[in-house]
Amino acid sequence: MTRGKFVVLEGGEGAGKSVQMGRIREILPHGVFTRDPGGVETGEDIRRMVLSKEARGIDAATEILLFLAARAQLIAELIAPALESGKLVVCDRFILSTIAYQAYGRKKLEYLPLVKSVFEAIHHGCVPDLTIFLEVSPEVGLARARARLEAPNRFDEEEVAFHERVREGYKKHLNDYGKSAVVNADNDIEQVWQDVREALQSAL
């Protein structure tokens, strides 16, 4: 059995990731679609905990370890078995989110070696074949995120400078884990979709 392909969609707040995930799902109905943190029961439990307002102000190392714990379970329970059985897996966020948000956004670059070494220990070969990075300028992305009806999460509430650092983190580490494609997500949905589709076609 040949290993399936693993595609990750990344981006800052308001990059339009959910819309693009929906479109990918329509053209790849046989794929396994999941999200990080989350995807499996324990992962969703950790997601609720780490994104809740009550977790505001938790220690930076605790936050990192919670995201990594959710990812470890998602990989072991869902991503690794799906790839082994030849399926295509599409994941909303993955390792680069932790690098961008926790190390760069939170200005904790000293934790980069921890993030990277824990990931080495838990990935079981599940390194993305392609990461599509929806690059949005923080002003555009935050305005979109704040216009949404659902309640903002803890990260939507961070200041513009935080999101500038997140973007910088993504750009610096984009090629650390498999191939990547950058899509300008300041553009309108249809243009972004065309670019996402092209990136997918060249990788699959």
Residues near ligand TYD (CB under 6 A) are 13, 17, 36-37, 51, 67, 92-93, 97-98, 101-102, 153, 155
> Are the beta carbons of 139 and 185 closer than 8 angstroms?
no
Residue closer to ligand TYD (CB basis): 36 or 129: 36
Q: What is the 3-state secondary structure (H, E, C) of 48-104?
A: HHHHCHHHCCCCHHHHHHHHHHHHHHHHHHHHHHHHHCCCCEEEECCHHHHHHHHHH
Cβ at position 200, least distance to ligand TYD in Å: 19
Residue closer to ligand TYD (CB basis): 86 or 113: 113
Residue closer to ligand TYD (CB basis): 34 or 82: 34
Look at residue 66 and give its three-state secondary structure: helix
- What DSSP designation does 156 have? T
Residue closer to ligand TYD (CB basis): 85 or 160: 160
Task: Return all residues near 113 (Cβ < 8 A) that are at least 6 apart.
Answer: none
Find out whether 43 is annotated in a ligand binding site: no
Find out whether 16 is annotated in a ligand binding site: yes
Cβ at position 64, least distance to ligand TYD in Å: 8
Cβ at position 154, least distance to ligand TYD in Å: 7
Chain-centroid distance, C-alpha 124: 18
The total number of residues shown for the chain amounts to 204
Find out whether 17 is annotated in a ligand binding site: yes
Cβ at position 36, least distance to ligand TYD in Å: 5
Annotated binding-site residues for ATP read 11-18
